[in-house]
Homo-oligomer: A and B are copies of this chain.
Amino acid sequence: MTSPDTPASSAPLAAGLNRWQLLELYYWMRLTRSLEERLVLLHRQGKVVGGLFRSLGQEADAVGSAYALEPGDILSPLIRNLGSMLVKGATPLEVLRQYMAKAQSPTAGRELNIHFNDLERGFLGQVSPLGAMVPVMAGIALHFKLTKQPRVGLVYVGDGAMSTGAFHEGINFAAVQRLPLVVVCENNGYAYSTPARLQTAAAHLTDKAIGYGIPGLRADGNDVIATYETTRVAVDRARAGGGPTLVELVTYRRKGHAEHDDQRYVPAGEIEAWGRNDPIDRYRARLTETGWACGPDLTLTDERVAAELDEALARCIDEPFPDSSTALTGVYADPLAAPAEWYRSLTPRPPHD
């Protein structure tokens, strides 16, 4: 953000964050939500090639947890972690291009939504098979340990992903090796249509930490400050050589698993109830009540977000899809491209007699 970090604004006000940082948290949440709202429109217009996944109501857990990382740290998101990606430097332009499968997208149109990465900026996009990123991020944390760098890895799992064998093997290995890895579970109540009680019999997801011999922490995932503070404890411990922590952020998935999901399986009133616990509304109120920010700050931020999205969208909306000629490159370092199939380069023969 461009607002000058003046001495006045740099005195810590809460959770060791100064006025500027507290406002930045709002900015990231707002950016996340507004970007998704743009994507919804694009989806309706048929501009989003594949599915659209929302994190409505989860912006605080995504943003607050990622905000606890330092430059050089690396996170791996799940489908609801658009906010985490943005905090780590992924741009709305990149995200829009990914969803619309543009040639200029970070994966040149090969992969969907937030499945993209930049290890320099510090994010490693996930693959679809749930749980797989836990062993992989354990490997990145292993690299930090072997090279004695004070860097931390953070991997997101859902209440559903925790049931996978990959999650178990990855977090257990990280625990045994005391790797600098933070495992953040976003407990949003559902895995697609499956409620958490059909996912595990444990009273709390943090109970799983005990089984791996690591600390478990729980926070209100709709309170961005609490999310930040709690994750920060885990990040600091990891950086200090204290090994992995399992952080449970309790939140709620207010939209369907994907745009097409009608949420028929959700008990009446549940979504509305959580709507009254909206993380952005809550934080707005808190900012103004505490005087950490004033109305104009927020309006300015909202306008800035809108402007940035207008610009990003204007920039890419009419960009082309990738050219089909790019489809075969980069499976291996060598050879540079897979061969085109024989049937694509045929001079038709005369019809058979």
Contact = CB atoms under 8 A, between A and B. Distances in A.
Of A168, A178, A210, chain B has the most CB atoms within 10 Å of the CB of A168
Interface stretch (A72-80, A197-205, A251-259): A197-205
Contacts of A212: 200-202, 211
| A interface SS class | helix
A163 interface: yes
Interface stretch (A9-17, A94-102, A169-177, A275-283): A169-177
A241 interface: no
Q: How large is the interface on A (under 10, 10 to 19, 20 to 34, 35 or more residues)?
A: 20 to 34
A163 B168 CA distance: 7
A199 B176 contact: yes
A161 to B, nearest CB: 12
Given A202-B213, A214-B201, A169 B164 contact: yes
Interface string A312-353: 000000000000000000000000000000000000000000
A176 B164 contact: no
A182 to B, nearest CB: 15
Interface string A207-230: 111111110000000000000000
Nearest to A163: B172
A210 B211 contact: yes
Interface string A108-148: 00000000000000000000000000000000000000000
Given A210-B207, A211-B211, A211-B212, A175 B163 contact: no
A213 B201 CA distance: 5
Interface in A187-202: 197-202
Given A213-B201, A213-B202, A214-B201, A165 B176 contact: no
Given A165-B165, A201-B214, A201-B243, 8 more contacts: A168-B168, A175-B200, A175-B201, A176-B200, A176-B201, A200-B213, A203-B213, A207-B213
Interface of A: 163-169, 172, 175-176, 178, 197-203, 207-214, 243
27 contacts: A163-B168, A163-B172, A164-B165, A164-B168, A165-B168, A165-B169, A167-B168, A168-B168, A172-B200, A172-B201, A175-B200, A175-B201, A176-B197, A176-B201, A201-B212, A201-B213, A201-B214, A201-B243, A202-B210, A202-B211, A207-B210, A207-B211, A207-B213, A208-B211, A209-B211, A210-B210, A211-B211
